[in-house]
A and B are shown apart, each in its own frame.
Chain A
Amino acid sequence: MIKILLLAFMYTSLFSQLIEEPLLKKIELKYGPYAKNRFVYLNTTMEDLKGKSLETQLNTVNRFFNDVRYGMDIKVYKVSDYWATPFEFLSRDRGDCEDYVIAKYYALRYLGIPAEKMYFTYVKSTRFKAPHMVLTYFDSTSSEPLVLDNTNFKIFPASQRPDLIPIYNFNADVLFKSKKKNTQGKLKNPKTHKKWDDLMNNIKREKI
């Protein structure tokens, strides 16, 4: 049984891509060839990262998405706060801090990094004197996290980011798994976090 699952995983990894061809066509149709090329490049980058070290994967993904230009939700999406799908984020080539975190989380999950090791961390940026969000990577829950920040191209341990004050950690996958366990499998309401739930629905329907 384990052999079969392993073979299935290898097959999926070998032949599937982060962004599949039909979605690529839709993106090209809506945003043009440049947008499509960004996703092709993302696919290539992701394929290259497969089997690479964790450090390489974190750095490359962080750097890749940090190349996207910052844009406030009110300007990009005409709403005060919006969690964009990675497809929207890269297609428009613009987004705010949550969008960087989401895209990075999505790509790193694709590369096989476990969900429970990554958190959406609400922080206060003392440099900008504003609320901010970063993706934190925990080797274990008690270890010092690495901070993937769109305002800083380099990844630093949390202790080297005095400009950020942690407020709140959030990981929907962890919440969901724990909740399922604590309700003895009788979980009828899978909701965990409003923004996250909306985001998952949008990713599911490949909103671009």
Chain B
Amino acid sequence: MTLFKQIALLLSILLLTILTTVLVLNFNTATHSVQERLYEDAKNTATSLSLSLGSAKGDESIMSTMINANFDSGHYTQILLVNNADDVIYVRNTSGTLANVPTWFSNFITLDIPIASAQVSSGWNPIGILYVKSDNSYAYEELYMILTQLLISFAIIMFISLVLLYTMLHLILKPLVLIQKQAEAIMRNEFIRQENIPHTTEFRDVVKGMNQMVDKVEDIFEKGNSAMASNKDLLYKDTLTSLHNRKYMTLKLPQLIGAESKYNDGTMVFIAIKGLIELNKTLGHQKTDDLLKFISKMMLDISLDVKDSIVSRMNGTEFAILFPGVSVSSKENDFQDFYEKIIKIKEDIDNADDIDFGVDIGITSYKKNQSVAEILSRSDYALSLAKSNSKIEIYESAESKDDLALGKETYRNLFENALENDGFELAFWDVYDNKNKKTMSKIISIILEDENNSYSFGQFIAPAIELGFVSQIYIFALKKLFSMQDTLEEINYSIRLSPEFITDKNSFSALQELFELHPNNVSLTFEFPDHVVIDNLATVKGLAILIKENGYNVSIEQFAGESDDYNYLKEIKPTCIKADISYLCELIEKSAGSLASLQVMTDSIGVSIVATSVKDKKELTSLVEHGIEIIQGPIVEDIS
């Protein structure tokens, strides 16, 4: 029961008790007053009648007549005359009728009608006593009217008091509602400040305290956020040229050329600068470094007009430039210019005639389905040709993988059949909680099966994207999961959403429809790739709200610390972030503080870190030493 209800109930009972007590006291007073008046009336009658009776000098017939005259003219229940020996001389009785009073009232209220008495004398001698008892029907009628008026008055007072009471309570406790909302938000790791400081001292102190706590958590998050932004530079940037490094290129390549990439092809350029060591000796480090920076700037200029292009320094003398979605021919001239500018630079350098300074450029095109290793290998080959020929070498992909392995129609038929005949199966992989030694959740993987073959997600996602089946496949898989709820374990399940599904405009409505049809009976987490979240924050936020409103959770996977600002974590509010073991190990190796920065930030908003692709115990030990206990990857099968 809320505090408002408790206080309101208590005060209502108190008010009712007070009003009832006052009503009872008032009614009792009125009853007493009516009885007093009845007594006084009877007493007056008794005294005056006794004086009159004295004049009868003991004549009973005269006295009876006098009594009759009085009895008939007034409201009396009884007039009784007794002699000194208490023997009745004369009596008149009547029973009053309570016509205007309900029976329950006369039964409930016992009116003690007082009897007044007076001595009757004849000359000097007392001859008897006269008793007069008033009629109670009049008293009952008056009391009933008083009770009715009292009840109406008190009902009105009660109503007005309750309205005032509830209004006052509502106003007084209004800040408490805001405090409660703030507290609930804090429990959900949402740290909101309350700007309206209540006037009530106790509430004001609580709000100030919570605001301070929120500020501190905010500070902690911001410190982690800044440290992470710095770590990003240390981790992914070449300190001299400010270009990205090999790690960054390795990280991004699968995203940009993998099966789920939005680009179907692209161009990879490998550039090797020769003669740098000799230049160092001739020009000195500073000038050589300046030259290197200048050449880097030239490379960046070439890539400026290509979205998602990456320029990275792979090692001391070699650079790589990735142009997603760009053909070789469209960049060929740029690199020809670049090549010639380098030759010009050599000519401008004093005492460099004997130095073999220059660049070798290997350019290769790639298609979507080629593996990262294959593209890198082909690029290396192109560069080696360029080195041997001392020119720009263009190595077009001989074996074009433009067409899908099975052909579009075959895949279309496969997908259609699978959607129609329940051809998609769900496979589950454990996420292990090493601290509590138990499976924490299960990751869902979608598998396509036909009569003869089984296709993994990685195998069928590219044709699915190309043929526009991704959304249907996800909805199908989710429906299948919901239909399996009776056979599922009491554990959290998580499904990774592909970039194609997330960025598909129809996904929101498809999910909405699915959630409406299937009430939440499964503990399910939807995983969003980190780079997709960064690039499509508004879309992801919309989906996250929809998912959470329907009782499911959101997490972030492929977290690689590539953002400059992690406030999106507060906006998305994932239950966890999943990061590849290689990234986490990189943080650990770099410095203890690098991982700590991430942990400080995630702890401050109640987000746990899950290490993915953990392969061996050495990696696990390292993670455990640094406080990361939730893992997934090949090792889980060995230890769980």
Q: Which residues of A contact B (CB under 8 A)?
A: 119, 121, 136, 138, 141-142, 144-145, 158, 166-171, 174-175, 178-179, 181-183, 188-189, 191-192, 194
**Residues of chain A contacted by B54 (CB below 8 angstroms):** 167-168
Contact A183:B129 (CB < 8 A) given known A168-B51, A178-B86: no
Q: Which of B112, B115, B121, B126 contacts A179 (CB 8 A)?
A: B115
Which residue in chain A gives the minimum CB-CB distance to B80?
A182
30 A-B residue contacts at CB 8 Å?
A: A121-B124, A141-B125, A141-B126, A142-B125, A144-B124, A145-B125, A158-B124, A166-B121, A166-B123, A166-B124, A168-B51, A169-B124, A171-B119, A174-B126, A175-B118, A175-B129, A178-B86, A178-B117, A178-B129, A179-B117, A181-B86, A182-B80, A182-B82, A182-B86, A182-B115, A183-B115, A188-B114, A191-B39, A191-B43, A192-B117
The 8 Å CB contact of B126, one of A119, A144, A181, is A119
CA A192 – CA B39 in complex, angstroms? Answer: 10
Contacts of A175 in B (CB 8 A): 117-119, 129
A171 to B50, CA, bound (A): 14
Q: Please give the residue numbers on chain B whose beta carbons come within 8 Å of chain A beta carbons, in ascending order.
A: 35, 39, 43, 50-51, 54, 80, 82, 84, 86, 112, 114-115, 117-119, 121, 123-127, 129, 131
Known: A121-B124, A178-B117, A179-B131. 20 other contacts (CB 8 A): A119-B119, A144-B124, A145-B124, A166-B124, A167-B51, A167-B54, A169-B124, A169-B126, A171-B126, A174-B119, A175-B117, A175-B118, A178-B129, A181-B86, A182-B80, A182-B86, A188-B112, A191-B114, A192-B117, A194-B43
Are B119 and A169 in touch, CB under 8 angstroms? yes
Q: Are B121 and A168 in contact (CB under 8 A)?
A: yes
| Chain A minimum-CB-distance residue to B54 | A168
Complex CA distance for A9 and B232, rounded to whole angstroms: 114
Distance between Cα atoms of A64 and B101 in the complex (Å)? 59
Residues of B contacting A169 in the complex (Cβ-Cβ under 8 angstroms): 119, 121, 124-126
- Shortest B292–chain A CB gap in Å is 118
Q: How far does the alpha carbon of A179 sit from the alpha carbon of B84 in the complex, in Å? A: 12
- A136, A171, A194: the one within 8 Å of B124 (CB): A136
Tell me, rounded to whole Å, the shortest Cβ–Cβ distance linking A65 to chain B: 21
Residue of B nearest to A120 (CB): B119
Q: List, in ascending order, chain A residues with CB within 8 A of B131's CB.
A: 179, 182
Give the residues in chain A near B112, CB-CB below 8 Å: 188-189
Residues from chain B with Cβ under 8 Å of A181 in the complex: 86
Closest chain A residue to B51, Cβ basis = A168
**Residues of B with C-beta under 8 A to A158:** 124
A141 contacts across to B, CB distance below 8 A:
84, 125-127
Query: How far does the Cβ of B474 sit from chain A's closest Cβ, in whole Å?
Result: 90
Contact of A168 among B80, B119, B129 (CB under 8 A): B119
Q: Shortest beta-carbon distance, B81 to chain A, in Å? A: 11
**Complex-state Cα separation, A138 to B86, whole angstroms:** 18
A168–B124 touching, CB < 8 Å: no
A196 to chain B, nearest CB (A): 12
Shortest CB-to-CB span from B531 to chain A, Å, is 95
A166 to B55, CA, bound (A): 11
Find the A residue at minimum CB distance from B35: A189
For the complex, give the distance between the alpha carbons of A7 and B473 in Å.
116
Give the residues in chain B near A145, CB-CB below 8 Å.
124-125
- Contact status A178-B124, CB under 8 Å: no
Smallest beta-carbon distance A119→chain B, Å: 6
Q: How far is the CA of A119 from the CA of B54 in the complex (A)?
A: 15
The 3 closest A-B pairs by CB, nearest first: A189-B114, A169-B121, A141-B84
Please indicate which of the listed interface residues A121, A144, A170 has the most CB atoms of chain B within 10 Å of its own CB.
A170
- Measured between C-beta atoms, what is the minimum distance from B612 to chain A in Å? 93
